[in-house]
Amino acid sequence: MAKLLTLAMSEMSPKNNKYKIIAYWIEQNKIISIDIDEENFKDINKHIVWDIGAVTQAEQVIAKDNLFEINGDMILLENYNKRQLKEILDRDLIKLSVFKRNQNINYCITKVKSIYDIRNLFDERDLFRSKVTVYDGSDEEKNIKIKDYRWIKYWNYIYGKDIEKKSKEQYEELFINKEIYLIMYRFIDNKNQKNYYSRKISYRGDNYWIAGIHYF
């Protein structure tokens, strides 16, 4: 049995409902990623088995190069409180600048000072995208994609509505007084990745993104 704390649920191929879970494997003390369909966020009885900030117990975790697969039954054991989750996030922080320049780091937890300039749009393939600028205290990263499941669902829902502008202002003001943690993910182009992922990834800075956001 393996206990996996879900740190992020990241959009991969929205038209195919494909996502990637970034999880902290408690027994192994390491971060792993798991490919999953949105329909598998719940079991056959419609009980949630994967949720951000929650621990899922999986029967078996199988490693395949840089990817992992889950075999057997899964159940959601518990939801971490803010103190428990923050304790995990604080363990192995990496500066955003280090992650950006090191292609060998596939995913990491980083802490930033602020998030602002929220930009939402539909791209040339009619897919909803959200980008932000982040500042970590020394470097500013502009137009970085956010593919956090909850973030995308929220901003897509209010896109073009009267409340969108006000919501952007409220979020940017909220972030000023919060401790912000980002779960960063870098696309890994190897034999185990799905072909439709690699066709849609540009390697001019788009091979990494914010997979998850936590703020306290």
Angle ∠(129,203,197) on CA atoms, nearest 5: 60
- CATH fit for domain 94-215, picks 1.10.1200, 1.10.3470, 4.10.860, 2.40.50: 2.40.50
Write the pLDDT tens digit of every residue in 161-171.
Answer: 999 999 999 99
Task: For the beta carbon of residue 197, count every other beta carbon within 10 angstroms.
Answer: 16
Whether residue 19 has pLDDT greater than 60 = yes
Distances, alpha carbon 209 to alpha carbons 44, 87, 94, 106, 204, in Å = 31, 23, 15, 11, 12
Q: Which fold has domain 2-84?
A: OB fold (Dihydrolipoamide Acetyltransferase, E2P) (2.40.50)
Structure tokens at 133: 């600028």
Radius of gyration in angstroms for the set of CA atoms belonging to the chain, rounded to a whole number? 17
Average pLDDT of the segment spanning 97-113: 93
pTM of the model: 0.89
Q: Enumerate the domain spans of the chain.
A: 2-84, 94-215
Beta bridge partners of 79: 54
Would 2-84 and 94-215 be classified into the same CATH topology? yes
214 phi and psi angles, rounded to 5 deg: -130, 140
Q: What is the bridge-based pairing of β-strands 208-215 and 180-186?
A: antiparallel
Residue 45, CB-side half-sphere exposure with 13 Å CA sphere = 6
Is 192 or 145 the better-scoring residue by pLDDT? 145
- Structural contact between residues 213 and 148, judged by C-beta atoms closer than 8 angstroms: yes
State residue 17's pLDDT score.
87
Cβ proximity of 59 and 73 under 8 Å? yes
